[in-house]
Chain A
Amino acid sequence: MKGALKWLLGIVTSICGFIEVGSISTSAQAGSEFGFRLLWAVAIATVCLVFLVEMSGRLALVSGHTLVSAVRERFGFRFHAVPLSAEILLDVLVLSAEIGGACVALQLLTGVSFRWFALPVGLAVWALLWYGTFSVIENGVSALGLVTLAFVVAAWKGHPDPAALLAGLVPSAPPDSGSLPRYGFLAVGILGATISPYLLNFYSSGAVEEKWSEKDVMPNRLVAAFGMSFGSVVSAGVLVVAALVLAPRGIHVDRFEQAALMLLPAFRSWGVPLFAACLFIGCFGAALEIALNLAYAMAQAFGWNWGEDQRPAEDARFCVVYTAAVLAGSVIMTAGLSPLKLTLFSMALTVVVLPLIVMPFLVLLNDPHYVKTHRNGWIGNFVVTFVLLLGCLLAVVVIPLEVIGGG
């Protein structure tokens, strides 16, 4: 019973780790501008994410080594320096965007400019990391994160046409060829927001923190499959609600204030506060995870002692890294950068970095030294190859799309 509860909690945690500033903003923009047409991007990205998350969990629970650790050991530092630097840069940008998202949520509730909240929110993130334990952070965030199911409820209440929803799951061209760059940019953004590199190493670090072992191979598979799929249902919920509420009124999401209107028909006067609560909890939870992931990545790349359950005095370097990361993220937001623009830029950059992060999966998950008999089957290898090729292709087109379609 206790085991079942643990895995149920794992699934709930994954759902709530899913909804954050990137998925809310890309899905809201996609729904408001193209209706259900980009649902396929959410679906494809989710399938890829389920496989990659399962693999990073399996690697960690069989070998006891996390993704970052294994990449350094197996490929050497000369190679690892490149994806590691890319991931650190990306994590700092996304961390800043998440802190920004949480601040915007407070701005929606109070009317006070988000910049004023950047340092207090950063301080709150830091304090939870400093004083909390891994399970407090995971379980606390997941329990609160259930509020994001409001998007699914709103989508349900909007009675979307099932045939149109299904049609959205099949990739199709945008209504007019002039909007192709924008359509492509948003499709790439959804992929970047869904397949977040930080999620992969965070998940494998969590497997080590929670002492998963070889007997957890099957539960890991279930958590990855159900957790990520349910998470993407919330993300698809955002897209559907935006399509039902914002698109017919011609509202495009250039600012979070516009996205906040999407829950009004379903929840009336509670709509905006509920949207703000979802945005705040999602972004705050993601900020905790990304700051921790930065510390995990540094500690694991250089072989330091690490663990969120240790007291700060027991792993000083680890704690100094997340402290510096949160400080940097907050300062960037205090400068007044637009959180939405920073998010969309980071999501596009994620796709450029993705091939470097994903390529090692092909080697590590087929190496018996690491995964013993639990090697990838052909489907797993096919999915990794698909993400790798897609990532390479998108990396080439993403910069022109950023210029033409990003604005």
Chain B
Amino acid sequence: MADEVHLVRDILDKQLVDRDRRLMGKADGIVLRMRGSGPPEVVAIEAGPGVLADRLHPGLGRRLCAALERLGKDIGQPLRIPFAKILHRGLDLQIDTDARRTSAYAAERWLKERLVRRFPGSGE
């Protein structure tokens, strides 16, 4: 029983970090796949404002995603991380990826390009 995972307690809302411990959002949602009459299969973790907004009110997420997608396709899209990619599970969930190459940094990149680097002293 040592490896028993409680999805809500141990996964949902935990901080996600990449291979190099870069912060890459929180586990905003968990995706299960129903398999006929068998037990559901845990497929992935989802992260993104739309996923989070859906938890407050169904429908809110869809509208938020649509609005964000106008800024950039990958800003609105939730990031889906297969369960198999979890390297380490503790207070944080370490994911086997490079955060900067994922959509977790899409909004960060957008703000940096469109806004932040236009101000002097931004470090760019």
Residue of B nearest to A127 (CB): B121
Please, what's the 1-or-0 string for B83-124, where 1 marks a CB less than 8 Å from any CB in chain A? 000000001000000000000000111011001110101111
User: Chain B contact residues: over half helix, strand or loop, or mixed?
Assistant: mixed
**A130 — nearest CB in chain B belongs to which residue?**
B121
Nearest opposing residue in chain B for A126, CB measure: B119
Task: Indicate which residue in B16, B23, B123 contacts A312 across the interface (CB closer than 8 Å).
Answer: B123
> Quick one: which of B13, B23, B122 contacts A73, CB cutoff 8 A?
B13
**Interface bin, chain B:** 20 to 34
CB distance from B64 to the nearest CB of A (A): 13
Interface string of A293-324 (1 = CB under 8 A from B): 00000000011111000111111110110000
Nearest neighbor of B56 in chain A, beta-carbon distance? A81
Q: Does A63 make an interface contact (CB < 8 A)? A: yes
Q: Which of B52, B111, B116 has the most CB of A within 10 A?
A: B116
Given A77, A304, A312, which contacts B116 in the complex, CB threshold below 8 Å? A312
CA distance A312 to B123 in the complex (A): 6
For A111, the chain B residues whose CB sits under 8 A away are none
**In whole angstroms, how far apart are the Cα atoms of A117 and B117 in the complex?**
27
Interface residues of A in 93-152 (CB under 8 A from B): 130-131
Closest B residue to A312 by CB, please name it: B122
Q: In the complex the two chains form, is B56's CB within 8 Å of A314's CB? A: no
Q: Are B14 and A73 in contact (CB under 8 A)?
A: yes
| B15 A303 Cβ-Cβ under 8 A | yes
CA distance A175 to B116 in the complex (A): 57
Say yes or no for B8: interface residue by CB 8 A criterion: yes
How far in angstroms is the closest Cβ of chain B from A202?
19
CB pair A63 B91 closer than 8 Å: yes
Interface footprint category on A: 20 to 34
Counting CB contacts under 8 A, is B78 at the interface? no
Known: A303-B23, A304-B23, A316-B115. A77 touches B28 (CB 8 A): yes
> For residue A78, which residues in chain B have a CB less than 8 angstroms away from its CB?
55-56
Q: What B residues does A72 contact at CB under 8 A?
A: 13, 26
A311 engages B123 (CB within 8 Å): yes
Q: Does B25 contact A (CB under 8 A)?
A: yes
| B30 on the A face (CB < 8 A) | no
- Excluding A303-B25, A320-B115, 10 further A-B contacts by CB distance (< 8 Å) are A77-B13, A77-B28, A302-B26, A302-B52, A303-B15, A303-B47, A305-B108, A311-B124, A316-B112, A316-B116
Residues of A within 8 A of B (CB): 63-65, 69, 72-73, 76-78, 80-81, 130-131, 302-306, 310-317, 319-320, 369-370
Can you list 9 A-B pairs with a CB-CB distance of less than 8 A? Answer: A72-B13, A77-B28, A77-B56, A302-B26, A306-B23, A311-B123, A312-B116, A316-B111, A317-B107
Shortest Cβ-Cβ A-B pairs, 6 listed: A311-B123, A303-B26, A316-B111, A316-B112, A303-B25, A313-B124
